[in-house]
Amino acid sequence: MSRKIRVAVIGAGIGKAHVTSYAEVPDLFEVRAVCDLNPERAQEGAALAPGAKAVTSFEEVCADPQIDLVDICLPPQLHARMTLAALEAGKHVVCEKPLAGSIADVQKMKAVAARTGKRVFPVFQYRYGGGYRAVHELKARGLLGRPYTLSLETHWQRGADYYLERWRGTWAGEMGGAIVSHACHAHNLVTHLAGNICDVTAFLDTRVNPIETEDCAAIIMRTAEGALVTSSVTLGSAGSSSRFRACFEHVTATSGVHPYRIGEGPWTFEATDPARQAEIDVVIASVEEPPARFLGLFTDIHAALNGKEPLYLPAMEEGEHSIELITAIYASAREGKVMHLPLASDHPLHDGWLP
């Protein structure tokens, strides 16, 4: 019989969406606490999960032996510090993106997790949806063939209201701009489907808002499987949309454009050889749609912590590669060079990319 995982959610901003998802599966998770420095926000978050208490002390959470898993939904500059503290307290950790602000900090997390026997789960929820599940299944069955090109659009609208949270748009608080806070999810879909990034060149600019960090980007990448990738990013679009299009040898897959639900539907799958379209359609029709977004991620985490096989749980190594890619993108933009991954251990930005 599976063991119920007892959770504390730290941060009642995006953390509220996490709380709601845990509460949807009460047979898998019990939200014991929602922690926020703002007591009212903590109460609002706790009210979303029956039996959860509102607390304002992270130390109280770490000291509670009845909590198995700490879910960190705080501003990015706190991610590494809080993750390390929770691991040292004997907790498993879920950490929102970005996992850390440097390659060095991720390596510290890995070392402490290994020493304590606890796990860190990076948040990459976009893979949990029927559309992405179908393309992944086609790859697993060898029906996609070689990846040719993938094109990503992260075209969102972010104005003054978004930056009312004072840490947003700052190097000290958000630890970066659109490539850190928005495009990382689409980039993770690429690496999960077509291999880690080996080469990247990037142009970054601040063109939309009066902020410190970038809000526009044009990025070109090559993956370990040879795919050529373009990533177009702006926070100055008319409305918000995300799009993922992958041209493989045998199939071209195109996502819908919902900004938060790119992994769901509707996706289209077109066979390069029309004679094989029926074969492709049969596979797509047979794929069971997973629980979407956070619910799918948390369901996989529960499986992993109970010794069961998850669907495709994001690994710590994916979180590490995401941070290394962000580092390489900033290095490329600043130096005007193609960057090759993995980066050397003595790379100038190994300990952080902040200017």
Average pLDDT of the chain?
Answer: 96
Q: Looking at the DSSP assignment, which residues form a beta bridge with residue 147?
A: 248
pLDDT in tens, 95-134: 999 999 999 999 999 999 999 999 999 999 999 999 999 9
Q: Is the dihedral of CA 168, 169, 175, 177 positive or negative?
A: positive
Enumerate the β-bridge partners of residue 230. 151, 220
- Confirm if 218 and 342 have CB atoms less than 8 A apart: no
Q: What gap in Å lies between CA 193 and CA 196, rounded to an integer?
A: 9
The pLDDT-based confidence of 50 (bands split at 50, 70, 90) is: very high
pLDDT digits (tens, 9 = 90+) for 308-321: 999 999 999 999 99
Q: Which two tokens stand for residue 130?
A: 């029927």
Give the model's confidence band at 265: pLDDT under 50 very low, under 70 low, under 90 confident, else very high. Answer: confident
Using N-to-C axis directions, what is the helix angle for 103-116 and 79-88, rounded to 10°? 10
What pLDDT sits at residue 277?
Answer: 98
The answer to whether 233 and 204 are in contact (CB under 8 A) is: no
Residue 2 predicted with pLDDT over 80 = no
Round to whole Å and give the CA distance between 43 and 153: 37
Q: How far is it between the farthest Cα atoms of the chain?
A: 62
Task: Judge whether residue 208 has pLDDT over 60.
Answer: yes
Q: Which residues contact 183 (CB under 8 A, 6 or more apart)?
A: 152, 154, 217, 219, 231, 233
Domains of the chain: 5-125 (3.40.50.720), 130-290 (3.30.360.10)
| Chain segment 17-48, per-residue pLDDT in tens | 999 999 999 999 999 999 999 999 999 999 99
Question: What is the crossing angle of helices 130-140 and 184-194, to 10°?
Answer: 20
pLDDT tops 90 at residue 248: yes
Q: Is the pLDDT of residue 272 over 90?
A: yes
Residues 6+ apart with CB under 8 A from 79: 72, 95, 96, 98, 99, 100, 101
Question: CA-to-CA distance for 34 and 39, rounded, in angstroms?
Answer: 10
For 233, list phi and psi in degrees, rounded to 5: -130, 130
Over pLDDT 90: what percentage of the chain? Answer: 99
Count the residues in the chain: 355
Q: What is the mean pLDDT of residues 158-173?
A: 94
pLDDT value for 84: 98
**119-to-19, 96, 136 alpha-carbon distances in Å:** 20, 14, 25
Per-residue tokens: 62:
């770490």
Structure confidence at residue 1 as a pLDDT band (50, 70, 90): very low
Instruction: Tell whether the model's pLDDT for residue 81 goes beyond 50.
Output: yes
Q: How far apart are CA 184 and CA 278, in angstroms?
A: 34
Contacts of residue 111, defined as CB under 8 A and 6 or more positions apart, other chains included, come to none
Q: Which residues 6+ apart lie within 8 Å of 275 measured at CB?
A: none
